[in-house]
Amino acid sequence: MKVSPSLARPKPPAITSNPNVSPHPNVYRKTYTYIVDAAEKPVRWVGSSRKELKSFPRPVQRHVGQALYAAQCGDEYPSAKALKGFGGRAVLEIVVPHKGDTFRTVYTVRFPDAIYVLHAFQKKSRKGVSTPQKEIELVKQRLAAAERDHRERQN
């Protein structure tokens, strides 16, 4: 069966042997530059935060994963907000509603070389939107542990 020339697929561009010449120079160059420029910071888990996150429903885990990836790339996900009581935007909280429940993950971007996930929990109280005090205390303890870890890695 013959295909009419108007319906035939266009031929792909010829591949050259010169690595500096690309058949699609703008696409490849921009992609490569983006990948090189967007070096991701590693995620470090403090205490049982990873285990706690793994106990969340899969859609919540996916949402938190996307938010942490944005943080690794230097961005801030829309569901991340500053956790009150920690001064500024160095300690952030990802809030994910799911089937009537609220799941929260707290992380810090205070250190330039890594993202530290401090705590992950399900908010059980139906009163108010504030983070319970016992969770805040645990975050403070884990933030101190993250600071110690960061100092040790610097030496």
pLDDT (tens digit per residue) in 39-53: 689 999 999 999 999
Cα separation, 42 vs 45, whole angstroms: 10
The closest of 43, 41, 125, 123 to 83, measured between CA atoms, is 123
CATH 1.10.40.50 fits 43-154, yes or no: no
The whole-number average pLDDT for the span 94-114 is 93
Between 146 and 19, whose confidence is greater? 146
Model confidence pTM above 0.75: no
Inform me whether the pLDDT recorded for 121 exceeds 50. yes
Inform me whether the pLDDT recorded for 92 exceeds 60. yes
Inform me whether the pLDDT recorded for 113 exceeds 70. yes
Domain locations along the chain: 43-154
The whole-number average pLDDT for the span 86-95 is 90
Contacting residues for 67 by C-beta, under 8 A, at least 6 apart: 77, 79, 80, 94, 105
Residue 132, sorted as left (phi over 0), alpha (psi -120 to 50) or beta, turns out to be beta
Angle at 91 between CA 89 and CA 95, to 5 degrees: 100
pLDDT (tens digit per residue) in 21-45: 555 555 554 544 455 455 689 999 9
- Stretch among 6-10, 29-33, 107-111, 112-116 having the lowest mean pLDDT: 29-33
